Chain A
Amino acid sequence: MNIIEIKDLSFSYQDEIDALSNVTLSVKKGEWVSILGHNGSGKSTLSKLIIGLLKADSGEIKVDGVILNEESVHDIRRKIGIVFQNPDNQFVGVTVEDDIAFGMENLCFEQSDIIDKIKEYAEKVSMSEYLKKEPHALSGGQKQRVAIAGILAMKTDIIIFDEATSMLDPKGRESIMNYIKEINKAGVTVITITHDMKEAVLSDRIIILKEGRVIACGDTNDILNDKETLNSSNLELLLPLKLQYLLDEANLSNDKVKDILWQLSLNK
């Protein structure tokens, strides 16, 4: 069942060339989809359109069977959580617990419920010891974990990670990717928006955007084998993938490759 369906979506910022043109895609319930694209490919614009922060010029977005419009936008936002790129600019609360509570306060949860959920989800992202801490005492990765806890506590069906790891150090990035994996396993539909192929290969499906158009869409394995599309996408390819392509081009037999590798390791 498709939880998100996007049909012929177009959007442009004032008089500029289209940030998105005729984008059509769908996301199945419970899957993990990566939207992959280089800078300016329109991938962040897409996430803002889905959650109704921007208004599309034309096209239709359907979330869980409901068409996004001015009346349904608040209901749809209850279904979608979004973790943004900059850890500092999405930290609303004065302390960690305030920030986790923020979304629940907006959804009018009971106070006792909020207190329980803060404990539960802080535990889940290993931030229990930091509940009373202020944001400037936290690292970027910790702030992103707080943001994740705040969204998990809102019990949304879909979570979008909009370049959520791009401002983190490798360690923070790894921990966030692990949490994403766990969240997806627990049944939440996850959309990761990224320019990093290393992150995208972890997902079930990849959608590649280039200059506001979908140029590829399919299972991760299929996409990785589609050499031409990947080469034309301006993305930085993974080293093993590059190597594979080079070897393909050289047209060597497997035995020859083995020989060369063997020689190389002997010379060392």
Chain B
Amino acid sequence: MKNIIIGQYLPGTSFLYKMDPRSKIIALMILMISTFILKDVTHILIMLGVVLLILKIGGIPIARIARGLKPIMILLLFTFTFQIIFIKTGTLIFDAELTLTVFTLPLMIFIILFWYLTRRYIKFKFLYLLITAFGILTMLALYTPGSVLSSSTLEVYGDGLSGAFFIMVRLIIIVTLSTILTLTTKPTDLNLGLEKILKPLSIIRINAEEIAMIISIALRYIPTLLDEANKIMLAQASRGVDFTEGKLKDKVMQIISLLVPMFIISFKRSDDLANAMEARSFVPGKRRTRLHTLSWHNLDTTVIVFCIFIFISAITVRVMF
């Protein structure tokens, strides 16, 4: 528990690391909006090219980005499938009669069961899922003996396919962009940058400094609380609680036995911390000087100008074509 790293900061020296967190956040927002403005597959592919270029110059390994994309794989698959199934305009590219018969139904259940039981031994889980789904579809399309239970037609249209592809690329771009931000910025710098960007919100009585203070304390206490949780789990385990197995009901009880002491400890801690902060002359909302300040360089201006150029091009492309 001594080496907890919060966030996914990847040490490096490229231009992305030299940038001010403020400019990085602003650039990210401009590029995201630009991505949403684009409505055409070719344009979005050009955008993807730009993002890949940023990755290349920024010296970020594609493998790290791929890891960042992993959690949204299922989401990508779902949007892709829905787009293909529900958009029925454009040219018909492919259609197939899917029939469910007395033979294929149990066969299908068997395949799904087999997938369910074996998936934990397969290294490429996502690929395995795709192969299984395709296998079932192919079987339903080709193998049709016995009395028919139900049947439907799977039609894939041009617009569906391009729409699905378009949305997928858009999602990938957005996730990649935000991954670049978190990979190249330390959580504390990111926090400081956010604080400065949110500062104008004081007009509507949102105190950015307080929000930043809350985030920074949360960041500081995550490892401490994890350590605490670990200790409590060990203490409970030594009295016979098994955190690894059990039915859902037992699991809930185990989590409660962990949560209750965690809450009590956290309240005690926050009380102590509030005392310590006040004793050191902290007054919420009062002006403070800062140890860390941000400095805006020419590089930041250049990058922002570049992003604005992309933004304007995106609008132009959207209006013209």
Specify which of A102, A135, A136, A137 is in contact with B280 (CB 8 Å cutoff): A102
Given A48-B275, A86-B272: A94 and B216 within 8 A (CB)? Answer: yes
- Tell yes or no: B239 within 8 A of A by CB: no
| Complex interface: chain B residues within 8 A of A114 (CB) | 289, 291
> Is A81 within 8 A of B280, CB to CB?
yes
> What 0/1 pattern do residues 253 to 293 of B give for CB contact below 8 A with A?
00000000000000011001101111111110011111111
Of the stretches A103-111, A174-182, A212-220, the one at the interface is A103-111
Report the minimal beta-carbon distance from A182 to chain B, rounded to whole angstroms: 21
Q: Which residue of B lies closest to A108 (CB)?
A: B289
- Tell yes or no: A150 within 8 A of B by CB: yes
Complex Cα spacing A3 to B235, Å: 47
> Is B283 within 8 A of A106, CB to CB?
yes
- Tell yes or no: B2 within 8 A of A by CB: yes
Report the minimal beta-carbon distance from A146 to chain B, rounded to whole angstroms: 12
Report the minimal beta-carbon distance from A213 to chain B, rounded to whole angstroms: 24
Report the minimal beta-carbon distance from A99 to chain B, rounded to whole angstroms: 9
> Is B273 within 8 A of A90, CB to CB?
yes
| Most central of B2, B268, B277, B281 by chain A CB within 10 Å | B281
> Is B288 within 8 A of A108, CB to CB?
yes
- Tell yes or no: B169 within 8 A of A by CB: no
Complex Cα spacing A114 to B217, Å: 20
Complex Cα spacing A108 to B216, Å: 19
Complex Cα spacing A103 to B289, Å: 10
Specify which of A53, A101, A108, A136 is in contact with B291 (CB 8 Å cutoff): A101
Q: Which of B1-58 contact A (CB under 8 A)?
A: 1-2, 4
| Complex interface: chain A residues within 8 A of B217 (CB) | 92
> Is A115 within 8 A of B280, CB to CB?
no
- Tell yes or no: A46 within 8 A of B by CB: no
| Complex interface: chain B residues within 8 A of A90 (CB) | 272-273, 276
> What 0/1 pattern do residues 70 to 112 of A give for CB contact below 8 A with B?
0000100110111010101111111101100111111111110
- Tell yes or no: A35 within 8 A of B by CB: no
Complex Cα spacing A167 to B126, Å: 50
Specify which of B1, B276, B288 is in contact with A84 (CB 8 Å cutoff): B276
> What 0/1 pattern do residues 145 to 158 of A give for CB contact below 8 A with B?
00000110010000
- Tell yes or no: A118 within 8 A of B by CB: yes
Q: Which of A230-245 contact B (CB under 8 A)?
A: none
Specify which of A84, A103, A111 is in contact with B293 (CB 8 Å cutoff): A111
- Tell yes or no: A51 within 8 A of B by CB: yes
Report the minimal beta-carbon distance from A208 to chain B, rounded to whole angstroms: 24
| Complex interface: chain B residues within 8 A of A110 (CB) | 289
> Is B220 within 8 A of A92, CB to CB?
yes
> Is A136 within 8 A of B281, CB to CB?
no
| Complex interface: chain B residues within 8 A of A5 (CB) | none
Q: Which of B52-72 contact A (CB under 8 A)?
A: none
> Can you name 7 A-B residue pairings with CB atoms under 8 Å?
A77-B278, A86-B272, A92-B277, A103-B280, A104-B291, A105-B290, A110-B289
